[in-house]
Structure 1
């Protein structure tokens, strides 16, 4: 298993684990419980970081200019034709969410977390991961 594939597998595992938490406890139950909230945030943060790492590796291996910061990665993947504009925008927002969780850039909006969990928006991570993996396979990167 290549590095990108391994990272994509981690995204999948974390998204599926998070989905199990949501099914057992509900979005509100997670957000109202300190331990469950932090478990959910950790699962999302690790999944997003794995997504960033896979995207960064793909961009580098495909010959894109190395991104100066994480928020440059979506643009690089869009320029390579790996992501559509709306997907690149989603990845950019996802990276921003991760930054808030990890670094505390601004207060964490629990309403947003509830919405992500309630609407199953975390599955978007797997959609982005699939696009990144397909982009790698198409280019013969990380076989």
Structure 2
């Protein structure tokens, strides 16, 4: 059984980041491209929310005694295999992990058009992840 208190704390952390991002959804792509401050706020909160999803996945896998994957993206494969999350969501979250790695490890230039798409569209996948986790953990 997963520790609901740990999951709830992680969800609250993710929700704070999502709230910060929600306040930036009204910006235009040009505003994002031209403002280092906006870029920092958006990238930092994307990083935190994606990391929170990774932390939740890792916690569930550890608590359940499932095989730990070799990669962070593989965490979502394991959750998908055990029907904690849908397979479709699994593949989208793996892409988010790749994006998180770009932010953290500064693999080249960050494409602000892609950041804008994540901010205005793909962020819903994190909310869907939280919903599916709450169902699984009975929160």
Question: Gaps (5+ residues) in structure 2?
Answer: none
Q: Distance in 2 between matches of 1:103 and 1:33?
A: 21
CA offsets 1:77-99 (integer angstroms, 9 cap, x no match): 01111112111001101111100
- Counterpart of 2:15 (choices 12, 16, 20) is 12
Q: Distance in 2 between matches of 1:12 and 1:26?
A: 23
The count of residues paired between Structure 1 and Structure 2 equals: 136
Output the TM-score relative to the length of structure 2.
0.88
Q: Secondary structure at the match of 1:2?
A: helix
CA root-mean-square deviation: 1.7
User: Is 1:124 aligned with 2:125?
Assistant: yes
Q: Distance in 1 between matches of 2:33 and 2:126?
A: 20
Output the TM-score relative to the length of structure 1.
0.85
Q: Distance in 2 between matches of 1:26 and 1:131?
A: 31
The aligned counterpart of 1:59 is: 61
How do residues 16-31 of structure 1 correspond to structure 2 at under 5 angstroms?
A: 16-23=19-26, 25-31=27-33
Q: Kindly tell me: are residues 131 and 27 of structure 1, through their superposed partners in 2, closer, same or farther at Cα, counting changes over 3 Å?
A: farther
Q: Distance in 2 between matches of 1:124 and 1:132?
A: 12
Q: Distance in 2 between matches of 1:54 and 1:88?
A: 14
